[in-house]
């Protein structure tokens, strides 16, 4: 009120300068607001088989509710890195099988390949495949689930559909649920003990390595060592191709709050 009254009376130099400074300040504020970047919209999906890219397209997060019709939603909201995701909603009540496999992957799945993927790659030319993975959750302690890698193999490097070779799982932890098939020997890989389970699902051989002492994270886990063991057991053939490396959760009951904080997979050699 005071400055406006002075300018209205005599347009004194001091008043004029004050008005000019006020105007410049408002212009600066407007310019600043004009160039400010909006907050990014979190990527999310509630579609049963919905997905979205992560890490600039190097990875893909997939909802993959294959074993139930109950609602499940995932997003990258709250992830600490751009290679993480969280299960926001999981209304599952399964007791005999997983409701789905919300996961992050690198490689080729149903004809879609992530950016710069080293997969598919022949097993006998695999070199080293290592992965670091950090997880947490869930928010509901009554949830039943397992945390596991899923590696897929196929005789065809360019398989456009479901893999026809074999499935290899590496379970980091479980709330008591167990893999398909029968429990066999215990093997030592990467400084830990793993129970080996073997079975079939829809005619596809499945071999699962279940860590005897569960963990929520691993660093540079040598996945190629599990592939080598599965090859010696005849489950995986040297001429087949590793098509993708996936990491996620199999929620049976509940599962909301399960989180992949960060994930990476690297192939070297051969």
Structure tokens that stand for 242 in this block: 């590793």
pLDDT < 70 positions in the chain: 1-41, 78-81
What kind of architecture, by CATH, is found in domain 44-268? Sandwich (2.60)
Structure tokens that stand for 257 in this block: 């709050």
User: Is the Cβ–Cβ distance between 129 and 227 less than 8 Å?
Assistant: yes
pLDDT tens digit string along 230-254?
Answer: 999 999 999 999 999 999 999 999 9
**Which pLDDT score, from 0 to 100, does residue 77 have?**
75
Task: Give the SS3 label for residue 170.
Answer: strand
- E strand residue ranges, the chain: 44-45, 51-54, 59-62, 72-75, 85-90, 103-109, 112-113, 121-122, 128-136, 144-154, 166-174, 182-189, 192-201, 204-211, 217-222, 241-253, 259-268
**Which pLDDT score, from 0 to 100, does residue 31 have?**
40
Residue 167 among the catalytic residues: yes
Task: Give the SS3 label for residue 133.
Answer: strand
Active-site annotation holder among 135, 150, 165, 167:
167
To the question of pTM greater than 0.95 for the whole model, the response is no
Active-site annotation holder among 250, 256, 260, 265:
250
């Amino acid at each position: 009120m005071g400055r406006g009254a002075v300018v209205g009376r005599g347009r004194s130099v001091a008043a004029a300068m004050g008005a000019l400074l006020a105007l410049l300040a408002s212009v600066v504020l407007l310019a600043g607001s004009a160039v400010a970047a909006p907050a990014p919209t979190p990527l999310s999906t509630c579609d049963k088989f919905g997905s979205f890219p992560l890490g600039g397209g190097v990875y893909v997060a997939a909802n993959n509710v294959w074993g139930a019709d109950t609602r499940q939603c995932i997003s990258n909201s709250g992830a600490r890195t751009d290679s993480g995701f969280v299960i926001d909603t999981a209304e599952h009540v399964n007791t005999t099988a997983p409701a789905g496999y919300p996961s992050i992957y690198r490689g080729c799945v149903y004809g879609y390949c992530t950016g710069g993927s080293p997969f598919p790659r022949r097993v006998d030319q695999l070199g080293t495949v290592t992965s670091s993975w950090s997880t947490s959750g869930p928010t509901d302690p009554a949830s039943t689930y397992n945390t596991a890698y899923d590696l897929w193999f196929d005789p065809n490097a360019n398989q456009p559909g479901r893999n026809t070779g074999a499935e290899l799982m590496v379970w980091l932890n479980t709330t008591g649920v167990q893999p398909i098939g029968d429990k066999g020997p215990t093997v030592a890989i990467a400084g830990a003990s793993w129970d080996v389970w073997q079975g079939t699902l829809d005619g596809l051989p499945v071999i699962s390595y279940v860590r005897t002492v569960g963990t929520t994270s691993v660093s540079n886990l040598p996945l190629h060592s599990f592939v080598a063991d599965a090859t010696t057991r005849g489950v995986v053939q040297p001429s087949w191709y590793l098509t993708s490396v996936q990491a996620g959760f199999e929620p049976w009951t509940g599962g909301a709050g399960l989180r992949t904080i960060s994930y990476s997979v690297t192939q070297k050699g051969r």
